[in-house]
């Protein structure tokens, strides 16, 4: 059985006071979270260390929104896995659509990140998804196939136990629009099939891999989304940034 996962991406939101208050509230409530669901939050980098300290030894893990795939080096403005390990971080987002769209992050570069992360004990959450134009032109599966093959194609099979995939249709992120459960399930099933084709024993790998849905996930749609056979959780934006709306997802 794959775990059900609720992952909160705080993006470039929340002041220090707000971030620490949210983390403290989550710590207080974490013991009441169901044992059959995992929870991870991804604060902005400036709040990572403080949030990690608050949530240490709780049911809620903490991850980074971005990493640079190298040991300590001269890369201004970036944060490396070695630095994150020092503060107890073992999760990282890779290839979120906003980084692809506005910062030019490619699936090939994501591959480098995923390989480095998983070899150094991190869980990489690899984000894939199509734009509205790509969906309307009938290219959704072509886009997903390319992202899977370029992002995961050369990753060694034993590293896949530390990879999650997040399907986030770009047209549904922060727009209030949500893929229907049937649309989301169809994309998730396709992603799982593509991953299974990467290796001789790929079905075993893909059957075990959590695939999350990201795109305006809220309390009023999360139950139906998670009832789909290939949807294992949500990568949540706005609803994860307030205590009540995040807890309502469980």
Confidence (pLDDT) at 200: 86
Confidence (pLDDT) at 174: 78
What's the rounded Cα separation, in Å, for the pair 86 and 60?
18
Where are the alpha helices (H) located in the chain, listed in sequence order? 16-29, 48-55, 81-86, 97-103, 107-119, 132-136, 140-152, 181-196, 202-208, 219-226, 243-247
- Binding-site residues from annotation: 9-11, 174, 216, 237-238
Model pTM above 0.85: yes
Q: Do 174 and 130 meet the contact criterion of CB atoms below 8 Å apart?
A: no
What's the rounded Cα separation, in Å, for the pair 8 and 238?
8
* Weakly modelled stretches of the chain, pLDDT under 50: none
Confidence (pLDDT) at 52: 98
Confidence (pLDDT) at 25: 98
Confidence (pLDDT) at 119: 96
> Residue ranges per domain, the chain?
4-248
What's the rounded Cα separation, in Å, for the pair 29 and 77?
34
By annotation, the residues acting in catalysis are 96, 168
- Token pair recorded at residue 189: 């099933």
What's the rounded Cα separation, in Å, for the pair 131 and 170?
5
Q: Which residues, in sequence order, are bridge partners of residue 164?
A: 125
- Long-range CB pairs of 183-189 (<8 Å, 24+ gap) are 184/213, 184/225, 184/228, 184/231, 185/228, 185/229, 185/230, 185/231, 187/140, 187/144, 188/213, 188/228, 188/230, 188/231, 189/229, 189/230
Confidence (pLDDT) at 177: 79
SS3 139: coil
Q: What is the DSSP string of 20-85?
A: HHHHHHHHHHGGGS-TTEEEEEE--GGGHHHHHHHHTTSSEEEEES---SSSS-S-TT---HHHHH
Domain 4-248 belongs to what topology?
A: TIM Barrel (3.20.20)
- Binding-site residues from annotation for substrate: 9-11, 174, 216, 237-238
Instruction: Count CA atoms within 13 Å of residue 21 on its CB side.
Output: 9
């Amino acid at each position: 059985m794959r775990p059900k996962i609720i992952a909160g991406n705080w993006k470039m939101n929340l002041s220090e006071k707000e971030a620490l208050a949210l983390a403290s509230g989550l710590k207080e409530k974490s013991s009441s979270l169901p044992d059959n669901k995992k929870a991870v939050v991804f604060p902005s980098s400036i709040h990572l260390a403080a949030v990690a300290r608050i949530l240490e030894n709780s049911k809620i893990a903490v991850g980074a929104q971005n990493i640079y795939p190298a040991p300590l080096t001269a890369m201004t403005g970036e944060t490396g896995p070695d630095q994150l390990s020092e503060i107890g971080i073992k999760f990282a987002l890779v290839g979120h659509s906003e980084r692809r769209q506005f910062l030019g992050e490619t699936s090939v570069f994501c591959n480098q990140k995923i390989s480095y992360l998983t070899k150094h004990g991190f869980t990489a959450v690899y984000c894939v998804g199509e734009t509205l134009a790509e969906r309307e032109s009938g290219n959704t599966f072509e886009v997903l196939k390319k992202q899977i093959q370029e992002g995961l194609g050369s990753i060694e099979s034993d590293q896949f136990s530390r990879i999650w995939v997040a399907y986030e249709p770009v047209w549904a992120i922060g727009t209030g629009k949500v893929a229907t459960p049937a649309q989301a399930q169809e994309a998730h099933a396709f992603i799982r099939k593509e991953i299974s084709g990467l290796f001789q024993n790929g079905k075993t790998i893909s059957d075990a891999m959590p695939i999350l849905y990201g795109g305006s996930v809220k309390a009023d749609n999360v139950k139906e989304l998670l009832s789909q056979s290939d949807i294992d959780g949500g990568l949540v934006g706005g609803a994860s940034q307030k205590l009540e709306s995040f807890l309502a997802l469980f």
